[in-house]
Amino acid sequence: MPSKNEGVMVILSSPSGAGKTTLVNLLSKQDKFEVSISHTTRQPRVNETQNKDYYFVDLDKFNRLIKDQEFLEYAKVYNNYYGTTRTPVIDKLNKGKNVLFDIDWQGADQIKNKKLDYKLITFFILPPSKEILFKRLSNREMKDKLIVEERMKQFGRDVLHWINYDYVVINDNLDNCYKKIYNLIDAEIKNGSKDYDLEYIRNHVEKLTS
């Protein structure tokens, strides 16, 4: 990545099960990239660590952060609240770090509308097919068929937001998908040419929603 004084903001959103969190973790291993840690009112999962995966807080604390206008964005997702506090993000950007956001479309819209003085690149990650998404969700939520059905329904609604993103990338193979995202970020920063086929994506979305 080029040396520029200020970092860029990179948002990755996706419907549940498209593999976004893994991609964010891979990108965060790159020099100059740091993940923005969100606050959430959701309960931690067994494999999650406080202050690393999220700042897990109760609703009172979350409401106080809203009242004190600490959030750059916040939203309700699946009955829990999630939000990104402003100060750590701005600090990282001013130190020249590229900040990765693993946030949903509502948060992406809010950050976009803020029109901050930092470059913003937004990605929407999609699964290769509905069948593969169903398999991925079934593996993850093995105990609960109802959750899988609900997430599949939610997928149909979430996917419609693809149009508001700079780039849509299909996660058919983790390594390829990661490289595509990395190359697009690099091209954006360097003002280079971008390898991106919008028509192909439009057709893919049509297949996913038909």
Query: Could you list the residues that contact ligand 5GP (CB under 6 A)?
Result: 38, 42, 73, 75, 77, 82-84, 102-104, 106-107
| Dihedral, 135, 29, 12, 138 alpha carbons, nearest 10 | 10
Q: Which residue is nearest to ligand 5GP (CB)?
A: 107
Q: Compute the least distance from the CB of residue 5 to ligand 5GP, in Å.
A: 26
Residue placing its CB nearer to ligand 5GP in the complex, 82 or 167: 82
Q: Compute the least distance from the CB of residue 107 to ligand 5GP, in Å.
A: 3
Q: Compute the least distance from the CB of residue 57 to ligand 5GP, in Å.
A: 12
Nearest to 1 by CA among 184, 177, 208: 184
Tell me, what amino acid is at 92?
K
By the 8 A CB rule, do 107 and 74 touch? yes
Nearest to 188 by CA among 6, 13, 8: 8
Q: Compute the least distance from the CB of residue 175 to ligand 5GP, in Å.
A: 22
